[in-house]
Structure formats: C-alpha cells, structure tokens
Homo-oligomer: A and B are copies of this chain.
C-alpha cells in the first residue's frame, strides 16, 4: 500500500504542475486545495526540496515551485524519494539491494523471481510516466 505521505506528495506536485506561471505557491494554498494536513505537507515539501525536486522562496509571496518542467520529472524519482524502493523485496531492489537472512540461494528463490517480474513492470510504468502525464 502507498503511504499517505507519497500520495499527498504526488497530489501536491501535480497541483504545482498545473500552475501556469512560475510564481511560488504557499504550503497553505496547496494544503487547502488538496485537503492535506498543513504541517504534514510542510514536511513532505521540505523533503522534496532537499532532493532538488522543488525550490522555495521565503517571505511574503513566497512558497514552493518546481525545479524542472513537469515533463522532466519522472514518477519513479518521486516514488523513490517519498516511498522508498520500488521493489517489493530488498533482495530484488536495484537501488536499495539487501540480501535476505533466510535465503540460502537467491537464484533458486521462487519469490525472488516472481518479484523481479513485478518490479520490472512497475518500474517501466513509473519511469515512463512524468508529472505532465498526470495532469
């Protein structure tokens, strides 16, 4: 299941992507429009900023804005930042690989093979879809 954090994050990003001008949008504006708890959204946008997805401006008229064009922002990137690995198992993850405690032979593991299939498919979708496609 997708965490609320990721869900809120994607909704906030699409909100920003729908804005026509580059003017900053405040946390409060996004929170109200998308029905996201203000303080929770605050933390999410901060994390996206630290990962160079968003930029921010303080002071009056400040807020957040996208650092790239919506068509340049892949959903796989967003997923990895907010939700973590795309793979369903650590032993199947490309970016966060970890060996299983209980697995004697990974190549012979039935679960491993199945989940690699799922990962490849999900990854293909998330790499292909950009923020622009979600508008």
| 9-residue interface stretch from A19-27, A47-55, A61-69, A109-117 | A109-117
Per the bound structure, the CA–CA distance linking A60 and B36 in Å amounts to 58
Tell me if A129 and B102 are in contact (CB < 8 A): no
User: How many identical subunits does the complex contain?
Assistant: 2
**A10 touches which one: B10, B110, B118, B122 (CB < 8 A)?**
B110
Interface membership of A34, Cβ < 8 A: yes
Q: Which residues of B contact A110 (CB under 8 A)?
A: 10-11, 14, 134-135
Q: Which residues of B contact A122 (CB under 8 A)?
A: 118, 121-122
Nearest B residue to A134 via CB reads B110
Interface residues of A (CB under 8 A from B): 1-2, 7, 10-11, 14, 34-36, 75, 84-85, 88-90, 101-102, 104, 109-111, 113-115, 117-118, 121-122, 125-126, 129, 134-135
A-B contact pairs, 5 of them (CB 8 A): A1-B89, A10-B111, A35-B101, A114-B129, A121-B125
